[in-house]
Amino acid sequence: MSSLTFSHTVTERFLRYVTIDTQSDPESPASPSTEKQKDLGRVLAAELKAMGVADAHLDDYGYVYATIPANTDKKVPVICFCSHMDTSPDCSGKDVKPQVVKDYRGGDITLPGDSSQVIRFAEHPALKNQIGNDIITTDGTTLLGADNKAGVAEIMDAAHFFINNPQVKHGTIKILFTPDEEIGRGVDNVDLKKLGADFGYTMDGESAGCVEDETFSADGATITINGVSAHPGYAKGKMEHAIKIAAAIVERLPKEGCSPETTSGKQGFLHPIGIDGALEQATLSFIVRDFTEEGLKEKEILLEGIVKDVMKDYPRSSYKFEVKEQYRNMKQVIDRHPHILEYAIEAIRRAGLRPMRTAIRGGTDGSRLSFMGLPCPNIFAGEHAFHSRLEWVSRQDMEKAVQTIVHLAMIWEEKA
Ligand SMILES: [Zn+2]
């Protein structure tokens, strides 16, 4: 294996990209949901073009597509690296002021713009692996946006490396930057034909060395309750209150398990996310999560069982129980192409890290891409405490992610 010399640009890029506000908006029907996401898209497309990636462009939906042409005679599968440009609507992403804590010595990090915001060593166990590293945080007034601008900057740095190191052999590499991942619409308008990749990797995972080939399977469940209304002064023996029925259902949800706050690892849950109601009609919205289809089904049967049981006390009221598929565990797809994961693990090892396979208690662009025909596991980007003002990432972890991308492309060429 030849040794590679890296002169990284990832941190400098990251510090610039996070200052561009790209917050997505779940209330907006537009695509992208916010025009400002294109501000970053334009910068990325222009920087790629300036590097010599001739076809780099931003489309009307806010996606950036680019191709680094193959420099080998071998027939290598086309690999795509993908990250999302938007940041979470849960926390402000406007006027992000990043700071770099150089040569971190351990202990708490108090954020300079709001001293009530402290990244506590005891509450962020991943900090133990960062002694001596340069940690990037915000000033405490916004999120950082390492989710997922760390991934964006890493892919950009890897592209920069390939362009400047033509002696490093690789097949065709596709780059895809998406909008609106945080609101679950990241791949709604992606053009996979145009992208033309065989396999993909999202760069959107947490700790250095992690690769994820499993996500939740996800459904949404909606319960609509139709009660019986009556004038409150003359309601005795007549009224059946939809709000009270809804409350009774919520009250009977399992308390020892099956909720986000009582589960971890491979356990799934039922989770109410919305309640809306008046006397005559009330609606309860749930998300249902598990790693298997059977697990989802079990939880939906459990939920409807609770509803039926509660409705016994309200004989003149009725309910409607609807389940909608949201996304499925990508493992089903990725297991059919074992090389995708094997090569990622090997690339992480070659970057000098200990590979760790983990399962995501959530979904990614990759879970939907996998089922759309682009098998797409998730590789670490180094982001921690995302969607919060305490978000952080280290320079060293981002550099390792860049090296993983480079090795991964080299391995696909080597094995072809
Ligand atoms: Zn993300």
Segment 201-247, tens digit of pLDDT: 999 999 999 999 999 999 999 999 999 999 999 999 999 999 999 99
pTM of the model: 0.89
In a domain, 285, yes or no: yes
Please say if 134 is a catalytic residue.
no
298 Cα–ligand 1 center, Å:
29
Please say if 86 is a catalytic residue.
yes
Phi then psi for 342, rounded to 5 degrees? -55, -45
187 Cα–ligand 1 center, Å:
13
The reported pLDDT for the residue numbered 298 is 98
Report the domain count for the chain. 2
Judge if 48 and 154 occupy the same domain: yes
278 Cα–ligand 1 center, Å:
37
- The tokens for 49 are 């073009």
Distance of alpha carbon 317 from alpha carbon 303, whole angstroms: 18
Peptide bond into 32 cis (omega under 30): yes
Catalytic choice (21, 47, 86, 147): 86
Question: What's the farthest any 2 CA atoms get from each other in the chain?
Answer: 86
Mean pLDDT, the chain, rounded, equals 96
% residues pLDDT > 90 (the chain) = 97
Using alpha carbons, select from 361, 355, 362 the residue that is nearest to residue 341.
355
Judge if 323 and 307 occupy the same domain: yes
The reported pLDDT for the residue numbered 244 is 98
How do residues 12-40 score in pLDDT, each as one tens digit?
A: 999 999 999 999 999 999 999 999 999 99
223 Cα–ligand 1 center, Å:
30
pLDDT at 2 exceeding the cut of 70: no
Final residue in a domain of this structure, among 327, 351, 373: 327
Judge if 200 and 104 occupy the same domain: yes
With bands split at pLDDT 50, 70 and 90, how would you rate the model's confidence at 104? Answer: very high
- Asked whether 379 and 201 are in contact (CB, 8 A), the reply is yes
The reported pLDDT for the residue numbered 363 is 83
Distance of alpha carbon 161 from alpha carbon 108, whole angstroms: 35
The reported pLDDT for the residue numbered 345 is 98
Catalytic choice (21, 181, 206, 383): 181
Q: Which helix (H) or strand (E) holds 51?
A: helix 37-51
Judge if 272 and 379 occupy the same domain: no
Judge if 155 and 24 occupy the same domain: yes
The range of the structural domain enclosing residue 233 comes to 218-327
CATH number for the domain including 232? 3.30.70.360
Sign of CA dihedral 293, 297, 298, 303: positive
Final residue in a domain of this structure, among 268, 294, 327: 327
249 Cα–ligand 1 center, Å:
33
User: DSSP of 371-401, one letter per residue?
Assistant: HHT----EEE---BSTTSTT-BEEHHHHHHH
How do residues 126-176 score in pLDDT, each as one tens digit?
A: 999 999 999 999 999 999 999 999 999 999 999 999 999 999 999 999 999
Distance of alpha carbon 368 from alpha carbon 186, whole angstroms: 9
